[in-house]
Amino acid sequence: MGTAGGVLICWDKRSLELLGVEEGQFSISCRFRNVGDGVIWVFTGVYGPCSRKDRECLWEEFGAIRGLWEDPWCLGGDFNSTLYQAERSRNGRITSAMRRFAQVIDELGLIDIPLQGGSFTWSGGLNNQSWARLDRFLVSPNWIDQYSRANQRRLPRPISDHFPILLEGGGLRRGPYPFKFENMWLKAEGFKELIEGWWQGIVVRGRPSYRLAAKMRGLKHNLKIWNKEVFGRLEKNKAEALQQVERWDVVEEERALSEEELGHKKIAKENYSKWVSMEEVHWRQLSREIWLREGDRNTGFFHRMANAHRRVNNLIKIKINGVRLTEDQEVRDGIVNAYQHLLSENADWKADIGGLVLKQISLSEADALELPFTEAEIYAALMGMNGDKAPGPDGFTVAFWQNCWEIVKEDVLDMFKEFYDQNSFIKSLNHTFLVLIPKKGGAEDLGDYRPISLLGGLYKLLAKVLANRLKKIIDKVISPDQNAFIKGRQILDGSLIANEVIDSWQKRGEKGLICKLDIEKAFDNINWQFLLKVLHKMASDQNG
């Protein structure tokens, strides 16, 4: 199209079967069927015009394609338009062209996948001082449903003034997915009775925490078999239930249903409603959008958010200490080595805190911290936790422990008693997944990721019980200068105090120096020997 550029679409016939082509003035659209799974989808290659009048023709072409085909849709190319001010190096005002482009995307219900590897895709002007994001891929929600881990990445450009953009289907190749308890199982008829039978049928000898871990392994095995052979695939069950409802609707159109048949139709509708409810629970659990209530029929929203999290969290390459890693194994090894170094303690470093005067709590408060654990205390902590949070390596969500408390409580209480009496429990209960969450779009460096620990449900429960005790006295031993993470204090207070100090200097004509320290990963790397040393110092000062 034109002498300056155009659209060329190529495909591998071993992977894609061409079903139809539509050619416009500024785009070419191809309707494909995947050879592997039979999924039909549309790709539109774009070479956008520069003039406002011609852009309207391009937007009309998009509308025509959407009206012609309703299949999953992916558009890609040089749109010659930007969406936001930040997509140009010279951040100017929001133009009418930006508003119109955004309007078209909204009207067509398209999704702008975050760009990795850089913010701009074109440079030009005098000495290449102008930069902009003119090239992108846009996709429809049902396309993302098929390719939930898709992401677009900017590649190096050897010649052109445009960077090539690569649309990829996913991140690092993963091994087998670990077991994860599905909260929707709790809605299955007779499920708790199954759990009770399996749990009581697993007889193990040993210390309480060992017995508990062994029962969890046995229960996990039973759940995997039950899910595969009895519960089945959610999508398949929902589709079959809907077919039953539709079958009775067809019969009812031809003749009146008998009382018995009306009862069967009612059961079919209830069965379909049950699977719809389970589907909502499933996608809510994956989406982590815990602020929306279950039961409000937000399945579509939960589905989109779960897929959005997958796209953002994809890890294709990483830069560690200035070295860019791209191969799967070197990315894995590089991250593991970096965090092993970060989280290891320096045995040579020993702080001298003998001269410090530390705050203390009263003897009665200290005694209260060491009281035996009670069932009421443990249950209150458990019910105060969020059941949809991501599980740890054991795979059991907090919702499992909450809903099956009467079945498992004796074993859990025995584990707490073991911890109280012996100050220990089996190590497997403290196994943790370390998950990297990007702090910003287009994260490339390891420092751009925030490490999050996914703990097992029982360890989280134990930590919650201890935290509930500590929060009653924590404000008495933590310096008033520490404003964050203490009940009754606000992190904003630090900024307000700094503002008052500067204002006071200005009024009195005094000079001063302000030093702002940002301690990287301050709460991610704790020297436990130092922490225990501080606690011993507090205790000795109190007793001495």
DSSP symbols for 290-354: TTSPTTS--HHHHHHHHHHHHHHT--S-EEETTEEE-SHHHHHHHHHHHHHHHHS--TT-----T
Q: Which of 5-19, 316-330, 373-387 has the highest mean pLDDT?
A: 373-387
- Tell me what pLDDT residue 450 has: 84
The tokens for 3 are: 């002498």
Token pair 């134990």 is found at: 462
Q: Considering only 64-78, 334-348, 356-370, which range has the smallest mean pLDDT?
A: 334-348
Asked whether residue 4 carries a pLDDT value surpassing 70, the answer given is: no
Asked whether residue 414 carries a pLDDT value surpassing 90, the answer given is: yes
Nearest CA-CA partner of 237 in 304, 284, 185 = 185
Mean pLDDT of 62-77: 92
**Cα separations in angstroms, 197 against 185, 191, 203, 219, 394:** 16, 10, 12, 10, 20
Q: Report yes or no: 137 and 165 within 8 Å, Cβ to Cβ.
A: yes
- Tell me what pLDDT residue 413 has: 97
Coil/strand/helix, residue 166:
strand
Asked whether residue 255 carries a pLDDT value surpassing 50, the answer given is: yes
Asked whether residue 97 carries a pLDDT value surpassing 50, the answer given is: yes
Long-range contacts made by residues 430-435, C-beta under 8 angstroms, separation at least 24?
430/455, 430/456, 430/459, 431/392, 431/393, 431/394, 431/456, 432/392, 432/393, 432/456, 433/392, 433/393, 434/339, 435/390
Asked whether residue 45 carries a pLDDT value surpassing 70, the answer given is: yes
533-542, pLDDT tens digit by residue? 888 887 766 6
Q: Which residues fall within 8 angstroms of residue 55, CB to CB, at 6 or more apart?
A: 48, 49, 80, 81, 97, 100
- Tell me what pLDDT residue 298 has: 52
- Tell me what pLDDT residue 531 has: 83
Asked whether residue 235 carries a pLDDT value surpassing 70, the answer given is: yes
- Tell me what pLDDT residue 238 has: 80
Asked whether residue 371 carries a pLDDT value surpassing 90, the answer given is: yes
Q: Compute the distance between CA of residue 111 and CA of residue 152 in angstroms, rounded to an integer.
A: 12
512-532, pLDDT tens digit by residue? 888 887 766 666 667 788 888
Asked whether residue 64 carries a pLDDT value surpassing 60, the answer given is: yes
Asked whether residue 291 carries a pLDDT value surpassing 50, the answer given is: no
Q: Considering only 100-114, 245-259, 407-421, which range has the smallest mean pLDDT?
A: 245-259
Mean pLDDT of 118-142: 86
> Domains along the chain?
16-168 (3.60.10.10), 183-312 (no CATH)
List the beta bridge partners of residue 433: 454
155-199, pLDDT tens digit by residue? 888 778 899 999 887 655 555 678 889 888 888 889 999 999 999
Asked whether residue 296 carries a pLDDT value surpassing 50, the answer given is: no
19-41, pLDDT tens digit by residue? 999 999 999 999 999 987 888 99
- Tell me what pLDDT residue 524 has: 64
- Tell me what pLDDT residue 214 has: 92
Average pLDDT of the chain, as a whole number: 84
Dihedral-angle region of residue 425 (phi above 0 means left; psi in -120 to 50 means alpha; beta otherwise)? beta
Lateral strand order in the sheet of 165-168: 115-116, 151-154, 165-168
- In the structure, what pLDDT confidence band is assigned to residue 500 with cuts at 50, 70 and 90? very high
The tokens for 361 are: 């709590």
- In the structure, what pLDDT confidence band is assigned to residue 480 with cuts at 50, 70 and 90? confident
**Cα separations in angstroms, 523 against 440, 527, 541:** 20, 10, 26
Q: Report yes or no: 138 and 152 within 8 Å, Cβ to Cβ.
A: no
Mean pLDDT of 28-55: 91
- In the structure, what pLDDT confidence band is assigned to residue 1 with cuts at 50, 70 and 90? very low
- In the structure, what pLDDT confidence band is assigned to residue 461 with cuts at 50, 70 and 90? very high
Asked whether residue 347 carries a pLDDT value surpassing 90, the answer given is: no
- Tell me what pLDDT residue 356 has: 81
Q: Compute the distance between CA of residue 324 and CA of residue 58 in angstroms, rounded to an integer.
A: 39
Asked whether residue 406 carries a pLDDT value surpassing 90, the answer given is: yes
* Share above pLDDT 90 across residues of the chain, in percent, rounded to a whole number: 33
Q: Compute the distance between CA of residue 295 and CA of residue 299 in angstroms, rounded to an integer.
A: 9
Asked whether residue 544 carries a pLDDT value surpassing 70, the answer given is: no
Q: What share of the chain is helix, strand, coil (3-state, %, to 5)?
A: 50, 15, 40
The tokens for 236 are: 């398949």
Angle at 116 between CA 115 and CA 120, to 5 degrees: 60
* Share above pLDDT 70 across residues of the chain, in percent, rounded to a whole number: 88
Which residue has better confidence, 512 or 3? 512
Which residue has better confidence, 467 or 283? 467
Which residue has better confidence, 314 or 138? 138
Beta strand residue intervals within 439-532, DSSP E: 449-455
- Tell me what pLDDT residue 221 has: 92
- Tell me what pLDDT residue 2 has: 45
- Tell me what pLDDT residue 397 has: 92
